[in-house]
Amino acid sequence: MNQNRITSLFKIQYPIIQAGMIWCSGWELASAVSNAGGLGIIGSGSMYPDILEQHLIKCKAATNKPFAVNLPLIYPQVADHIDLIIKYQVPIVFTSAGNPKTYTAKFKEHNIKVVHVVSSAKFARKAEEAGVDAIVAEGFEAGGHNGREETTTLVLIPMVVDAVKIPVIAAGGIASGRAMAAAFALGAEGVQIGSRFVASVESSAHINFKKRVVEAGEGETLLTLKELTPVRLLQNKFYNDVMKAYQRGATKEELSQLLGRGRAKKGMFEGDLDEGELEIGQVSGMINDIKPAAEILHEILQEFHLVTQKLGNVKF
Ligand code: NDP
Ligand code: NDP
């Protein structure tokens, strides 16, 4: 594949970016994806600063290719994480869940590329005004925390592409070369892939969660808890408890109490499939095996080339 604005910006071979996913994307997954020619991301939202530091050291030892850190701006110790990102000269930061105006200038001072994750064209414009280098536009299909607007990837990507001049990376529902080709047809110049990489050998997700993702079928995830932070989850006992709470008209406070603390860790990292939060995308219904990350990336690329070739031959 030739270079495009995304591969040039990140100095990578292929415009495939592995999403920063709390509890699932530590240094092992990030370095495996970067070594395979994509961009690996350490999901720092679930890491205390000392843990992030360990992961930065290990990631740098495991790859000499560029990698990034995903920094949810609502993270309680965001300033400590930023200091570490600067100290370890991480070349790229993906910010999410917050205002990109707050830290973009600081990262730029240190020559760090900034990408912001949005779920609407309105926020894409704001991020561009704040000076970010690229946008991740994430559709309703995506796993985990998600926008309130419920705009699907098919609708969101062209809207965002038309709204900004900077390059757009498509996310939400992409786990195959077919989906990558569709995203490029909509104007994206890169794809960000989360769920498929959860079911990789190198992901730090608990094996119970990886197996559950492989078993998941069509329609098994739903977006819920919009009153708190909207999140797409696999249906399980915890999810059913949330539904029962809605049925009895639970208040926001009651929902918050039911969610409690550390549900995501319990489900995805400790493998408690009943009581934990199991954050994954709709596309989990199409994921059927656990494979090394490099194999996943190359299969996606191969299919992308086949599909784009085939489409190139379509004449009416
Ligand atoms: P290592 O292989 O160096 O070490 C694994 C560590 O993880 C061990 O210390 C082990 O503790 C601990 N661990 C294993 N399962 C759990 C669990 N269910 N809950 C809490 N701790 C657990 O791992 P890495 O280099 O991959 O990771 C370094 C650190 O980063 C570890 O502390 C790990 O927990 C954390 N991590 C955090 C992630 C996140 O998203 N927040 C993702 C990946 C790792 P022991 O064997 O002593 O019980
Ligand atoms: P909870 O409030 O339920 O739990 C916080 C979890 O984060 C705990 O498991 C805790 O680990 C871990 N943690 C790591 N560093 C810190 C810290 N400095 N202070 C407190 N807790 C810390 O949060 P969730 O599991 O729902 O969310 C986890 C993280 O995901 C949030 O902290 C936030 O940064 C991020 N997030 C990202 C979003 C996005 O990217 N769009 C949206 C919403 C949240 P332990 O159990 O070991 O104490």
Domain extents in the chain? 5-205+284-312, 218-282
Tokens of 297: 């990336």
Query: Does the Cβ of 23 fall within 6 Å of ligand 1?
Result: yes
**Cα(181) to centroid of ligand 2, in Å?**
34
User: What secondary structure letter does DSSP report for 284?
Assistant: G
CB neighbours (10 Å) of residue 130?
A: 17
How far is the centre of ligand 2, averaged over its atoms, from the C-alpha of 149 (Å)? 23
Q: How far apart are CA 290 and CA 198, in angstroms?
A: 9
> What does the pLDDT profile of the chain (316 residues) look like in tens digits?
689 999 999 999 999 999 999 999 999 999 999 999 999 999 999 999 999 999 999 999 999 999 999 999 999 999 999 999 999 999 999 999 999 999 999 999 999 999 999 999 999 999 999 999 999 999 999 999 988 889 999 999 999 999 999 999 999 999 999 999 999 999 999 999 999 999 999 999 999 999 999 999 999 999 999 999 999 999 999 999 999 999 999 999 999 999 999 999 999 999 999 999 999 999 999 999 999 999 999 999 999 999 999 999 998 9
Distance in Å, CA 113 to ligand 1 centroid = 29
pLDDT, position 2: 80
Q: Which of 22, 54, 204, 272 best tests ligand 2's pocket when mutated (most atoms within 8 Å of CB)?
A: 22
CATH topology of domain 5-205+284-312: TIM Barrel (3.20.20)
45 lines ligand 2 (CB under 6 A): yes
What's the rounded Cα separation, in Å, for the pair 196 and 211? 12
Long-range contacts of 77-86 (CB under 8 A, 24+ apart): 77/48, 77/49, 78/103, 80/49, 81/44, 81/49, 81/52, 82/106, 82/107, 84/49, 84/52, 84/53, 84/56, 85/56, 85/112, 86/110, 86/112
Strands 67-72 and 92-96 turn out to be: parallel
Q: In what order do the strands lie in the sheet with 168-171?
A: 16-18, 190-193, 168-171, 134-138, 113-118, 92-96, 67-72, 40-43
CA distance 81 to 14: 27
Q: Helices 237-247 and 252-259 meet at what angle, rounded to 10? A: 170
Length of the chain: 316
Query: The tokens of 301 are what?
Result: 């690329």
Q: What is the pTM of this model?
A: 0.93
Q: Is 42 in the pocket of ligand 1 (CB under 6 A)?
A: no
Q: What b/e string do you get for 152-172 counting C-beta neighbours within 10 Å, with b at 16 or more?
A: ebbebbbbbbebbebbbbbbb
261 lines ligand 2 (CB under 6 A): yes
Separation of alpha carbons 6 and 10, rounded Å:
6
Q: How many whole angstroms from 204 Cα to the centroid of ligand 1?
A: 8
